[in-house]
Amino acid sequence: MNATTAIPTMTGQEIVQLTKKHTIFEWSAQSKVDPIPVARAKGIYFWTPEGKRFIDFNSQLMSVNIGHGDERVIDAIAEQAKTLAYANPFMATEPRARLGAKLAEITPGDIDKFFFTNGGAEATENAIKIARFFTGRHKIISRYRSYHGATAGSISLTGDPRRWANEPGIPGVVRVLDPYHGVDRGWESAESSLAMIEEIIQLEGPQTIAGFILETVTGTNGVLIPPDGYMQGVRKLCDKYGILMIADEVMAGFGRTGEWFAINHWRVVPDLICMAKGLTSSYLPLGAVGMRHHIAQHFQDKVFFGGLTYNSHPMGCAAALATIRVYEEDRLIENAEKMGRVMKQLLADLEKRHPSVGEVRNIGLFGIVELVRSRRSKHPMAPFNGTSDEMAALDRFFREQGLYTVVRWNSFYTNPPLCIKEHQLREAFEIIDAGLEITDKAVKD
């Protein structure tokens, strides 16, 4: 074997076998995993060691927003590594200084101070700490159709079934329903959903609630785009009861929806904002929680009881700064908005052509297709938290055809890197169009 891993000398099969022998794959029984061996990546594509090309239609984990292999970010990381690879969090470094200032510029309203973490879970963990320190209250509201990370606190905030095996989690989490109730039951109005939330706030005792954490556009639980008025209504409820509004923008942030942050679509300023993924486009691990000015002021005299060895890691901060420059130089947020309009049309065409398509949704380049067995009843193609032969066959088809995306329950995602061009988007949708012949066969009426 080569002394370095930069020049691959193993076959795809050897990589898979050795990886499976000595490492654990997440969220899986190990005998069931069948990973794709990946050797290199560029733009919207990645390749196996044998040279099979995949369109990365999920930006890996909805995170490589600028696309793969951007030399500007790679050079910034290399430069930082040569100059100062690490300084402990009690030091002040130039990349840390510049990144804080840049984030203050692009985040909504008067959010102007940031605590840096290694990823999204630590961002949500620290957000709930901040909400608790600031308000002196302890309960946190979250929603059932949500994912906020896999550490003890963040998995307790998480509403989806990944939480179940991790219970009991941290105390004080109160969950509320979302305005969406699944493909067969559909959407509730913003007004009635907000009334339910207010009722729960009153039943729990508003004076006990520190924060309400919510994904601005829900990610892995279905690209759920809130009805107009919902985010504004949550903001009002939080103001009315002195609860901090915590926007989890880990997946929806950094251009994915055609805005720097998804919350901007509704012109709402949250009290705290969590980010990761697109912050560095995953070139290096980095997350952050940002806070409004008056919340940051609280910690002028009071201790911020939180820390991480890799807080404000200089290489992570340098990667983030270079990534943000790429969004700006290449106008990727605008491209996401523009290509999002093309995606909307392509999704609508799928819905017209394929009886198994029950519902499509997208905002910018954040998209999903929900499949059903019946157009009439909208009975899902796979049950909640389950799969079916048809969904598994569709997954296999995408993989054979070189389209990488996540197939989950009765749906699959359309989340390419934001640098995608129209012809590439159309090429991916041609594969999807062919694949849906499989699920169409299962439709009864």
Ligand X SMILES: Cc1ncc(COP(=O)(O)O)c(C=O)c1O
- Residue 351 phi, psi (nearest 5): -60, -40
Q: Which is nearer to ligand X, 149 or 355 (CB)?
A: 149
Q: Which is nearer to ligand X, 58 or 439 (CB)?
A: 58
**Long-range residue pairs from 334-339, CB within 8 A, at least 24 positions apart, any chain:** 334/258, 335/418, 335/419, 335/420, 336/255, 336/256, 336/257, 336/258, 336/364, 336/365, 336/418, 337/258, 337/259, 337/364, 339/364, 339/365, 339/418, 339/420, 339/421, 339/422, 339/425
Distance CA 106, CA 422 (A): 27
Smallest gap from Cβ 278 to ligand X, in A, equals 11
Taking alpha carbons only, the member of 172, 178, 158 closest to residue 129 is 172
DSSP state letter for 254: T
Q: Which is nearer to ligand X, 194 or 275 (CB)?
A: 275
Kindly list the residues in this chain that would bind ligand X in the complex (CB under 6 A). 119-121, 124, 147-149, 215, 219-220, 248, 250-251, 276
CA distance to 56, 82, 295, 402, 436, per residue, from 304 (Å)? 40, 32, 11, 48, 52
Q: Which is nearer to ligand X, 230 or 397 (CB)?
A: 230
Q: Which is nearer to ligand X, 180 or 397 (CB)?
A: 180
Distance CA 429, CA 118 (A): 34
Q: Which is nearer to ligand X, 121 or 419 (CB)?
A: 121
| Cβ-based neighbours of 166, under 8 Å, separated by 6 or more | 150, 152, 155, 156
Smallest gap from Cβ 337 to ligand X, in A, equals 21
Smallest gap from Cβ 198 to ligand X, in A, equals 24
Smallest gap from Cβ 368 to ligand X, in A, equals 14
| Cβ-based neighbours of 57, under 8 Å, separated by 6 or more | 403, 404, 405, 413, 414, 415, 416, 428
Smallest gap from Cβ 127 to ligand X, in A, equals 10
Smallest gap from Cβ 2 to ligand X, in A, equals 30
Q: Which residue is nearest to ligand X (CB)?
A: 120
Smallest gap from Cβ 22 to ligand X, in A, equals 22
Q: Which is nearer to ligand X, 28 or 189 (CB)?
A: 28
Smallest gap from Cβ 122 to ligand X, in A, equals 7
Q: Which token pair is 48?
A: 């196996």
Q: Which is nearer to ligand X, 224 or 276 (CB)?
A: 276
Q: Which is nearer to ligand X, 124 or 135 (CB)?
A: 124
Q: Is the dihedral of CA 151, 153, 159, 165 positive or negative?
A: positive
Look-up of token digits 């901040």: 130
Smallest gap from Cβ 416 to ligand X, in A, equals 17
| Cβ-based neighbours of 100, under 8 Å, separated by 6 or more | 113, 114
> What is the side-by-side strand order in the sheet with 111-117?
111-117, 287-292, 272-275, 244-248, 209-215, 139-143, 173-176
